[in-house]
Amino acid sequence: MRVLDTFSLTGKRALVTGGNRGLGLAFVRALAEAGADVVFVSRDVERNTAAVAALAEEGLKVQAFEVDITTPDGPAAAIDGSVERLGGLDLLLNNAGLAIHRPALEISDEEWDHVFDVNTRSLWRLSRGAGAYMKDHGGGNILNVGSISSIIVNRPQWQPSYNASKAAVHQLTKSLAAEWAPYNIRVNAIAPGYVKTEMAPVDNPDFRQHWIEDAPMKRFALPEEIAPTVVYMASDASAFMTGSVVVIDGGYTIY
C-alpha cells in the first residue's frame, strides 16, 4: 500500500454529531470526499436537509436524520439509526458542542448543566454506545472534538462551563483509549483554536487582541483547515495513534 492510500476512507462508515454547519459540516464534507459513507445527526431538520442538498450539489452523497443527543434515548437512537442506515459503524465523530460566555458568578446551574449535557454527558453516552457496538464488531475509531479551552483560560470573555466540559472530554478520551485498546478501538481528540464558525465570533474587534494577536500566526482558522487532520485521524494513516489530543491552534498555546 502506498502512503497516500492509507489516508483513504473508502468503505468506512461514519457518524458525525452536529454535522449541518460550521466545523461539523466541514468534517462531513471531508470524510465523504475521502471516501467514507457518512451520516450526521442534529436536532434541526431544515438545516440537515439544506446541508445534505448542498453537499449533493458538490457530488457528495451523505445522509442525515433528526436526533437530540441530550435526550435520554438520543445517543442510542443516533447509534442505532446510523448502523441501520450505513450497515455498520467504523467511526464516531463527536462534534456537537455548545459554549455559553458567562462568568462563574453569573452562570446559572441550568446553563452549566446544559453545557455539560451537550459537550460531555452526551459525548460520553454516544461513545459508550459506539464502543459497545465496535467491541462486538471487530473494533473501530472514536474521535472527539475538544478545544484549546481545556488547556488555557479564554479571555476577555469568561466561560468556565465550556472550559471545564472540554477538559473532561480530553481526559475521557484518554481514559477510554486505555480501556478499549484491547478491543481494537482507538479513541483520540482534536483541540482546535479559534476557528471562524457561527459559535465563535472571531471577527469581533473586542476579542481580536486576545484571540488573534496573541497567537504567533495572528489569524483565525477556517473549518476547512481543521478537516484534513480529522481525515488523518479517522484513517489508517493514524493506526498507531490512540489517547492523543492533537492541538490545531496556529501556535496559540505556545505561550
List residues with catalytic annotation: 162
Q: What amino acid is encoded at 232 in this protein?
A: Y
16 strand-pairing partners? 40, 93
DSSP 8-state code for residue 150:
G
Which residues, 6+ apart, have CB-to-CB distance to 37 below 8 Å?
A: 11, 12, 13, 14, 86
Bond prior to 182 in cis (omega within 30° of 0): no
User: Looking at residue 221, what DSSP letter applies?
Assistant: B
State the SS3 of 58-93. CCCCCEEEECCCCCCCHHHHHHHHHHHHHCCCCEEE
